[in-house]
Amino acid sequence: MDRRVRVRFAPSPTGPLHIGGVRTALYNYLFAHKHGGDFLIRIEDTDQTRFVPGAEEYIIESLKWLGIEASEGIGFGNGKHAPYRQSERKPMYKDFAMQLIANGHAYYAFDTAEELDSMRDRLKASNVDAKYDAITRGTMKNSLTLSEDEVNRRLENGDAYVVRFKLPRKEEVKFEDEIRGWVSFNTNQMDDKVLYKSDGMPTYHLANVVDDYLMEISHVIRGEEWLPSAPLHVLLYRAFGWENMMPKFAHLPLLLKPEGNGKLSKRDGDRLGFPVFPINWIDPITQELSSGYREAGYLPKAVVNLLAFLGWNPGTQQELFSLEELVQAFSLDRVSKSGAKFDQNKAKWFNQQYVRQLADEALAPVLFEALGNIGTTDQFSHDFLLKVCSLVKEKISFTNEIWEYSKYFFIAPIEYDMQVVNKRWTDKTPKLLGDLIEDFEQLSSFTQETVEASYQKALAKNEVQGKDFLQLFRVILTGVAGGPPLFEIAALIGKTESLNRLRNALSNITK
């Protein structure tokens, strides 16, 4: 059956979206575009106790920053299947739960939390798997054990109830995962999952299956943590009689911690020194900040590129891909099966590649902002900023490093790299600097070439070797030992500033 490709990213707004989730969204996006289909965003906020204010907005903003745009759903203009927020779809789920009760695939259960606990304790004590299943449900308070009158009495009385799925006994459930191939589970290992909660909300399982069906989802691409509940979902499609409309499943490998143990979690980021969130997040309750890629100086294109390669590869040697190129190259059967550890070095390398490709105009605003922070924006022209960006760009890996590497273009050094000074400052130096100052003053045109000519002249006059002095000259002008070509720096900051810095050095540096 050939049907229109429709996929969804369905996060729950319980906090900031972490990069594993971003990657899931990305793969969904790539798959949809590859097949000319639709990519939609649905918010799964059925657990009202875990709702976190701002989380939904955060998710949308993150995806927009990365350019992972949905064609339909929350944050991207509703489509024909609105609403796309499950809390707003609440009224429709009950009918589906009732439908399952009517056809014998589900039942009411009235057990209290205490009764469930005592059942589990009892079974655990006798070393049996404690679950609400084909064996134990006969001992519990539900519409299978209670008389019809009693059930009706309780329902009319408004007693709290849940709807549980009546799992078939000892049945092998098989399905073909697009990434893992045939996967099979036996229902005797599963339990009668709650589908409809006592607060009138569906659980993930019901809402997910119902919405995927109603929204005509063709492929469910989600994290591997959902693999164990996939058979339940398959059974639900069957129980509803929707098997011919059941989406294909693709369970993605998990993103693992770099140190090795466990999946990457929300708390790992700042502890390990790299972000696990796309953008900064401030916890609304604790006010604790979790840093994001955006603020850490990553470029969205780099994040997309590096995330795409965590668990997928094109099978060629090409590593740098735009989003459009990824769409062209992407396929589910090149997604790997095993979890990938996040590699900070590789991430840095990807970013560096994109920083270099960045136009000076795109980098200048970052520099401008840094300048604003120290209050000296006015005195520098846009053209000057662009030239600084062009000179410094290849030295940095992250956009927010630009200030650190370029501040001497704007502020005369107050400190000098003393290692260089101690090594290179000799008795001849003051005289040499004096000659340089004299010569610079005579220059009517202060360019890279004229500066270098003056420099060579002064060296010759004082019988100093270039390699003995140049780095000291650099430190005198910039304060630091490394950087772009020195004569270009001098020409850019200009004659007056260069002279100032030479004179400063003469009076400041005492050996």
Partner RNA sequence: GGCCCGUUCGUCUAUCGGUUAGGACAAAAGAUUUUCAUUCUUUAAAGAGGGGUUCGAUUCCCCUACGGGCUACCA
Residues with catalytic roles? 266
Residue type, 139: T
At its nearest, how many Å lie between RNA and the CB of residue 377?
A: 26
List binders of RNA among 480-509 (CB under 7 A).
Answer: 481-487
263 lines the binding site for RNA (CB under 7 A): yes
The residue assigned the tokens 């009546």 is: 166
Site for RNA in 271-310 (CB under 7 A): 309-310
Q: Tell which phi-psi region holds residue 416, choosing left (phi > 0), alpha (psi between -120 and 50) or beta.
A: beta
Strands (E), 136-291: 162-165, 172-177, 181-186, 194-196, 219-223, 248-252, 255-256, 281-282, 289-290
Task: Pick one of 269, 278, 292, 311: the residue that binds RNA (CB under 7 A).
Answer: 311
Contact call for residue 198 and RNA (CB under 7 A): yes
Stretch that binds RNA, among 31-39, 368-376, 377-385, 468-476 (CB under 7 A): 468-476
Q: Smallest distance, Å, CB 461 to RNA?
A: 17
Rounded Cα gap, residues 196 and 204, in angstroms: 9
Q: Which residues within the stretch 211-230 sit at the binding site for RNA (CB under 7 A)?
A: 224-229
CB of 252 to RNA, least distance (A): 10
123 part of the interface to RNA, by CB under 7 A:
no
Complex with RNA: residue 482 or 494, whichever CB lies closer: 482
Site string for RNA, 381-400 (x = CB under 7 A): -------------xx-----
Q: Toward RNA, which CB reaches closer, 80 or 467?
A: 467
Shorter beta-carbon distance to RNA: residue 241 or 466: 466
Residue 196 near residue 93, CB atoms below 8 Å = yes
Tokens of 152: 């009706």
Structure tokens at 312: 């997928």
Nearest distance in Å: CB 172, RNA: 10
Q: Given candidates 147, 157, 184, 444, which one binds RNA under the rule CB under 7 A?
A: 184
Q: Is 447 in the site for RNA (CB under 7 A)?
A: no
Please give the Cα distance from 250 to 412 (Å, whole number): 58
Size of the site for RNA (CB under 7 A): 79
Largest CA distance in the chain: 112
By C-beta, is 4 or 50 nearer to RNA?
Answer: 50
Task: Look up residue 241 and give its two tokens.
Answer: 């009689």
SS (H, E, C) 113-145: HHHHHHHHHHHHHCCCCCCCCCCHHHHCCECCC
The residue (of 162 and 239) whose beta carbon lies closer to RNA is: 162
Which of these ranges, 7-15, 72-80, 371-379, 435-443, lies near RNA under the rule CB under 7 A?
7-15
Euclidean distance between CA atoms 301 and 350, whole angstroms: 9
Site for RNA in 340-359 (CB under 7 A): 340-341, 343, 345-346, 348-349
For the chain, what is the radius of gyration of the CA atoms? 32
Residue 336 within binding range of RNA, rule CB under 7 A: yes
Buried-state track 128-152, b at ≥16 Cβ within 10 A, e below 16: eebbbbbebbeebbbbeebeeeebe
Measuring CA to CA, which residue among 245, 248, 269 is closest to residue 257?
269
Interatomic CA distance for residues 464 and 494, integer angstroms? 25
185 touches RNA by CB under 7 A: yes
Question: Shortest approach of RNA to residue 236 CB, angstroms?
Answer: 14
Q: Using CB under 7 A, which of the segments 75-83, 138-146, 261-269, 357-365 binds RNA?
A: 261-269
Question: Using an 8 Å Cβ cutoff, are 392 and 402 in contact?
Answer: yes
Nearest by Cα to 504 from 476, 480, 471, 478:
476
By CB under 7 A, residue 413 contacts RNA: no
Looking up tokens 């098989």 gives: 174
Scanning residues 58 to 87, which ones bind RNA (CB under 7 A)? Answer: none
Q: Determine the Cα–Cα distance for residues 251 and 36; give it in Å rounded to an integer.
A: 21
Least Å distance, CB 379 to RNA, is 26
**158 binds RNA per the rule CB under 7 A:** no
- Which span (68-76, 77-85, 258-266, 496-504) binds RNA, by CB under 7 A? 258-266
Place of tokens 């045939």: 182
Name which of 138 and 228 has its Cβ closer to RNA.
228
337 binds RNA (CB under 7 A): yes
Minimum distance between the CB of residue 12 and RNA, rounded to whole angstroms?
Answer: 3
How many CB atoms are located within 10 Å of the residue 429 CB?
A: 22
Least Å from the CB of residue 447 to RNA: 14
**Alpha carbons 186 and 206: distance in angstroms, whole number:** 20
Cα–Cα distance between 380 and 378 in angstroms, integer?
6
Nearer to RNA, 47 or 439 (CB): 47
197 binds RNA (CB under 7 A): yes
Contact (Cβ atoms closer than 8 angstroms) between residue 36 and residue 5: yes
Q: Which of 22, 26, 68, 162 binds RNA (CB under 7 A)?
A: 162
CB of 284 to RNA, least distance (A): 18
Pick 213 or 382: Cβ nearer RNA: 213
- The reply to whether 113 sits near RNA by the rule CB under 7 A is yes
Query: What's the rounded Cα separation, in Å, for the pair 470 and 467?
Result: 6
List Cβ neighbours of 443 (8 Å cut-off, separation of 6 or more). Answer: 450, 451, 454, 495
Question: Whose Cβ is closer to RNA: residue 14's or residue 504's?
Answer: 14
Work out how close the CB of 69 gets to RNA at its nearest, in angstroms, rounded to a whole number: 22
Residue 330 as a binder of RNA (CB under 7 A): the answer is no
